[in-house]
Structure 1
Amino acid sequence: MNWKSYVFPGGHPPAALTTGLVVFLTAVFLLSFVFALGDDLSLAPESLFKLQMSRLSLYPLIHLSLPHLLFNVLAIWAPLNLFEETHGTVYTGVFLNLSALFAGILYCLLGKLLYPGVFVAGASGWCFTLFAYYSYKESQVRPRTRLFHTEYSVPTLYTPIALLIAIAVIVPGSSFWGHFFGLCVGYAIGYKESWFHKITPPGWIITKIENSLDGLIRLIPWGIRYYRDTDIDRTKSYEPLLATDTPLPLHNDNSGTVLGTA
């Protein structure tokens, strides 16, 4: 994958929410040098039991270092752009909010028993949620994925788990459980997305919100695309990320599409 295809996933302009989120994450990081945002918004297991809702929903916005921020921004850019393009801008915002909440609740429940004093922060949970979501969807049409230019392939469904383990080994200070529960939420949404739709605002409400904010939406700079809910068909079948005529077979027979070339 070249940089152009990464910055413009699918050859389309950057999506509005994704672009805005990257800018906002950067702004929050800079503000954290002035205000103690990390202390105020990082998530601890006790946050759930103290009903600290701001921590439960806003902890992904906090980053503890510049490498932490840069890694998460680079990791989330392409999958979130693709998700926003196929689900709509407002819906994507709801998705981010609910997925952070669900992962945060799971983190707190287990943390009360295993790691009561460990805080978590950062958008990496969102990254793993998106990785798991797309790995599940992709696995339905491509059970195995070729490893770059080698003859080896791995089960598509489990690629985010391999990444989870690799990061835990390479970066031992990272939040394994935060990543793990983000992964669980992504798999769950991918498996039963129709259930997830039932707890999100219906389309007519989103459309009404967009109509009331039409003036502001029109102020979005040229080159950044806002995806209106009326333009989105979430009933469409999943389209694989790597275009191919036939899915990679269950057993390696030296055929298929090389990961990173499509």
Structure 2
Amino acid sequence: MPTPSIPSFNTSRARAYVFRLPLFTRAVVAIIVATWLLSLQQLWDVRAWGALVPDKTGMATLYRTNTFPFIHLNIFHAILNILALTPLLERFESEHGTLTSLALFFGPFATVPALLYVGLERFVYGGNTVVMGASVWVFLLLGVEAIHTYRTNPHFRISSYDIPTWTTPMIVMLCVAALVPGSSFLGHLCGLVVGYAFGLGYIKFLAPPEKILRYIEGKLNLLGRLPHYVSVDQKTYGRFGILPSSGNSGSSSAGPAVAMGMVGSGQRLGP
């Protein structure tokens, strides 16, 4: 009787995938790790400084709308969010370019979900729940991916029911809310709404014009100077010469699997 084979973790493929990560994705992971390391010291409370606190978010503290995705409760929270975010962010950067990703994730992809959360939390629910963590971006990117998938594969079948594929992130979000005590359902929902809006094209005007990005790339020769840089024309990662492709097995197959695995056991945005 043949012995069943046990799937093993392929370290060489994992290492190749990590070495192939584009520039902005690497930078985001590095900032998350650096922020966690900085939070270990006792002289300065990084979480109190950078977390999204509704009643402390005003004109003088708008920086919180950009810092909260990088700050995490503990090492496990940070690792799980990194595992979920990395394949999704790598795919997004490969499709849209490094400069576009930089402008969006340090701009509207952080501030719009944050301001939406602050408005709902303060003026609708009357609460002041603190949130932090990159899972807001995980659900945002899941929303973008769900819309893309829906356009090519509108339904998936469970038993005799046809379920719209765009609802997949909502199902995941509900599972997280049910299985992870204290998780920020409202924070995840705000990220998901922005992801849906971007995927449907309603807020694509927030992305910088490609003509300007091409001018900056050419003027600074970013494609030749920066390793793993993805041009706005999506033709190459830069001087390493790795071609981005939506059909890349390391990107497309690993992305949803890792993302879903993390989200199902993830941590809340806030304490």
TM value normalised by structure 2: 0.74
Q: Which runs of 5+ in 2 are unaligned?
A: 1-6, 236-245, 250-255, 258-271
- Could you tell me which residue of structure 2 aligns to residue 89 of structure 1? 98
Deviations 1:136-186 (A, max 9, x none): 110111112367xx9987431111111111111111222111111000000
CA RMSD of superposed structures (Å)? 3.3
1:110 matched to 2:113: no
Paired position in structure 1 for 2:37: 30
Q: Which residue is equivalent to 1:253?
A: none
Alignment-derived partner of residue 221 in structure 2: 214
Match for residue 248 of structure 1? none
2:229 matched residue in structure 1: 226
Q: Is the 8 A contact 1:15 1:227 kept in 2?
A: yes
The residue type equivalent to 2:130 in the other structure is: F
Tell me how far apart the structure 2 counterparts of residues 216 and 231 of structure 1 sit (CA, whole Å).
11
Residue of structure 2 aligned with 1:65, choices 74, 77, 86: 74
Letter in 2 for 1:70: I
- Aligned CA distance change for structure 1 residues 79 and 50 (closer, same or farther; 3 Å): same
Q: What letter corresponds to residue 100 of structure 1 in structure 2?
A: A
Paired residues, number? 231
In structure 2, relative to structure 1, the CA distance for the partners of 1:102 and 1:8 (3 Å cut) is: farther
1:136 matched to 2:147: yes
CA distance in 1, matches of 2:60, 2:132: 17
AA at the equivalent of 2:183: S
Are the aligned partners of 2:94 and 2:234 in contact in 1 as well (CA < 8 Å)?
no
Question: Which position in structure 2 is the counterpart of 1:74?
Answer: 83
1:215/1:81 Cα in 2 relative to 1: closer, same or farther (>3 Å)?
Answer: closer
Equivalent AA in structure 2 for residue 208 of structure 1: Y
Counterpart for residue 155 of structure 1: 164
Alignment check: 8 A CA contact 1:76 1:127 kept: yes
CA gap 1:71/1:39 in 2 versus in 1, 3 angstroms: same
Change beyond 3 A, Cα 1:38–1:139: same
1:84-104 Cα shifts (integer Å, max 9, x gaps) = 111001101122121111100
In 2, Cα distance between the equivalents of 1:7 and 1:115? 47
The residue matched to 1:25 in structure 2 has which SS?
Answer: helix
Deviations 1:35-76 (A, max 9, x none): 311111101122444552110122111111111101110101
SS of the residue corresponding to residue 229 of structure 1 reads coil
Whether 1:202 aligns to 2:206 is no
In 1: Cα distance, 2:194 partner to 2:98 partner: 20
One-letter identity of the residue aligned with 2:232: D
Structure 1 spans left out of the alignment, 5+ residues: 233-238, 243-258
Counterpart residue identity of residue 102, structure 1: V
Deviation of 1:230 (Å): 3.5
The residue number in structure 1 matching 2:239 is none
State the percentage of identical aligned residues: 29
Q: TM-score, with normalisation over the residues of structure 1? A: 0.76
Relative to structure 1, the CA distance from residue 216 to residue 84 in structure 2 (aligned partners, 3 Å threshold; closer, same or farther) is closer
SS at match of 2:207: coil
Contact 1:6/1:78 (CA < 8 Å) preserved in 2?
Answer: no
* Distance change (3 Å), C-alpha of 1:123 and 1:115: farther
**Partner Cα separation in structure 2 for residue 210 and residue 52 of structure 1:** 32
Native 8 Å contact 2:145 2:199 kept in 1: yes
